[in-house]
Structure 1
Amino acid sequence: MKNLIIIVALAFSFFSCQQQAKIGFVDNGKVINAYQEKKDVEGKYKQKDETFQKRRDSMISAYRLEYQEAQLKASKLRNQAQLQELSSEIQQKENLLTQKIQFEQQQMQQAFNAEIDSVLSKVRTFVDDYGKRNGYTYILGKNEAGSVMYGKEEQDISQAIIDELNANYKKKE
Structure 2
Amino acid sequence: MKKGFIALLTLVMLSSCQEQTKIGFVDNSKLINDYQKKKDIEAKFQVEIDAFNKKVDSIGQSFQAQAAEMQGQDPNMVQKSSQEKYQALAQQYQRFQQQFQMEEQQIQKESQSQIDTLIKEVKAFVKGYGEKNGYSYILGSNEAGSVMYGDDSQDLTKTILEALNAEGKKD
Letter in 2 for 1:95: Q
Match in the other structure for 1:100: 99
Matches within 5 A, 1:120-135: 120-135=119-134
**Counterparts of 1:38 and 1:18 in 2: how far apart (Å)?**
41
Match in the other structure for 1:32: 32
Give me the identity figure in percent: 40
**Counterparts of 1:46 and 1:108 in 2: how far apart (Å)?**
10
Check conservation: 2:67, 2:86, Cα contact below 8 A. no
Letter in 1 for 2:109: Q
What SS is found at the alignment partner of 1:26?
A: strand
- What is the Cα-based RMSD across aligned positions, in Å? 2.5
Match in the other structure for 2:67: 67
Give the 3 Å change call, closer, same or farther, for CA 165–50 of structure 1 in structure 2.
Answer: same
Normalising by the residue count of structure 1, what TM-score does the alignment of the two structures yield?
0.86
Unaligned runs of 5+ in 1: none
Match in the other structure for 1:55: 55
Letter in 2 for 1:64: Q
What SS is found at the alignment partner of 1:150?
A: coil
Alpha-carbon offset, residue 66 of structure 1:
1.6
Deviations 1:3-35 (CA, angstroms, capped at 9, x unpaired): 999988776665443312110000111111221
Deviations 1:44-91 (CA, angstroms, capped at 9, x unpaired): 1111111111111111111111222233358442253x3442232022
**Counterparts of 1:42 and 1:109 in 2: how far apart (Å)?**
11
Check conservation: 2:24, 2:135, Cα contact below 8 A. yes
**Counterparts of 1:68 and 1:38 in 2: how far apart (Å)?**
44
Give the 3 Å change call, closer, same or farther, for CA 44–32 of structure 1 in structure 2.
Answer: same
Check conservation: 1:141, 1:148, Cα contact below 8 A. yes
**Counterparts of 2:89 and 2:168 in 1: how far apart (Å)?**
50
Between stretches 9-18 and 109-118, larger displacement belongs to 9-18
**Counterparts of 2:76 and 2:169 in 1: how far apart (Å)?**
65
Check conservation: 1:70, 1:90, Cα contact below 8 A. no
- Work out the number of aligned pairs and report it: 171
Give the 3 Å change call, closer, same or farther, for CA 74–32 of structure 1 in structure 2.
Answer: farther
**Counterparts of 1:105 and 1:74 in 2: how far apart (Å)?**
39
Check conservation: 1:28, 1:141, Cα contact below 8 A. yes
Check conservation: 1:41, 1:115, Cα contact below 8 A. yes
Unaligned runs of 5+ in 2: none
Match in the other structure for 1:137: 136
Match in the other structure for 1:146: 145
**Counterparts of 1:29 and 1:73 in 2: how far apart (Å)?**
58
